Structure 1
């Protein structure tokens, strides 16, 4: 920009003229509206992006190892599928409800704090696959 200012001022232009040209180039044209500065989402907005997702894990014994605050990866394995897939990575465990004594091989419930899109993935995977967790 300084080179353009010097060229506009000519070879005999002064340093002050170049500085003035720089100042004019940096200012907005008369009547122009300044673009709004991008803002960071507030703490409340960021918190609202996270949701609580109840997830039934196939192996109840694994769930007994979990504590509130643990980070887990959730893996879905559909019956007959050649490979398992990761549905959630690094999800925070917010609750490990007490299982009733009568629960057999129905797994166990945990509640995870995840982004809304991940909660949707977890719900879909839970309807079609057996879910497992690994501790991070």
Structure 2
């Protein structure tokens, strides 16, 4: 057995000669994954169905809540006609019936105080003498009056002060109107 001779240094290939030659990567269009569109459409259908179901349940609940009366009276109320009896007749026995409230425009002597008021505030209205030399004590004309509106001042009025609209019981509105003519009115915020 003979051993093959070692290759000579001239027969040895240089390092890296056994690798293939480089070539350019061919151009191709981007890969697009298809099939996810139906998932989005299905999700949209499910949301629409859930919304429709929610609206149907809400409508049924509103119908059930509004259909308590029954009879011809309920049908007439649905058309916008008022109750035959006043609303305070439905108050539970043993409880005081709330007085009917009206809106009363009141001119408060101090315009800067009126600027502090906002709709929804509760105030006490106090009547005092017109001038400092007049005799008489201050008195509360309306307690817990609800501020309905604070109109913007149109300009400096002759009487001064500022206007405020209060929701008060009918009796307190009459007292406010009378006191507003003869006395200066002020408010205290609750």
- C-alpha RMSD of the superposition: 2.2
What are the within-5 Å matches in structure 2 for residues 3-42 of structure 1?
Answer: 39-40=90-91
Counterpart of 2:180 in structure 1 is: 126
Q: How many angstroms apart in 1 are the aligned matches of 2:167 and 2:98?
A: 10
Counterpart of 2:147 in structure 1 is: 93
Matched, 1:81 2:135: yes
Give the structure with higher Rg (CA).
2
What are the within-5 Å matches in structure 2 for residues 49-64 of structure 1?
Answer: 49-64=100-115
SS across alignment from 1:72: strand
Higher normalized strand content (fraction of residues): 1
**What do the CA deviations read for 1:33-53 (whole angstroms, capped 9, x no partner)?**
xxxxx8528xxxx78811000
SS across alignment from 1:55: strand
Q: Which has the higher contact order (CA 8 A, sep 6+)?
A: 1
Q: Which runs of 5+ in 1 are unaligned?
A: 1-37
TM-score for both structures, normalised by structure 2: 0.46
TM-score for both structures, normalised by structure 1: 0.63
Number of residue equivalences:
95
Q: Which runs of 5+ in 2 are unaligned?
A: 1-88
